[in-house]
Amino acid sequence: PRRRWDVAIEADLFEEIARIYGYDRLPTSLPKDDGTAGELTATQKLRRQVRTIAEGAGLTEIITYALTTPEKAVEFTAQPSN
C-alpha cells in the first residue's frame, strides 16, 4: 500500500506477513551442517593490522563529513565511484 513507506522490497513484505501471522507461530529448525568458519580477506586483515598499529601508537579513528562537492570529494578518494 502507498501508505506503507517502509515496505519497499520483497523481504519487507515477507517480514510483514510473518509479523501479522506471528513470529512465534513460525516453524524453527537448526541448520543441518556444522558450517565453516569465515575468514577475513587479505584487505580486511591488512586494515585490521594497520588499525591495531595506529591504535597502539595512540591514534584514534574518526569519520567526518566534508563540506565539499561530490566532484571535489572524488579527488581525495582512492577509488572514484561511478
In a structure prediction context, what are the per-residue pLDDT tens digits for the chain, which is 82 residues long?
667 777 888 999 899 999 999 999 998 888 788 778 889 999 999 999 999 999 999 998 777 776 778 888 788 777 655 5
59 occurs within a structural domain: yes
The rounded distance, in Å, linking the Cα atoms of 17 and 11 is 10
67 occurs within a structural domain: yes
10 occurs within a structural domain: no
What's the predicted TM-score (pTM) here? 0.37
29 occurs within a structural domain: no
pLDDT at 42: 96
The grid coordinates of residue 7 equal 515496505
81 occurs within a structural domain: no
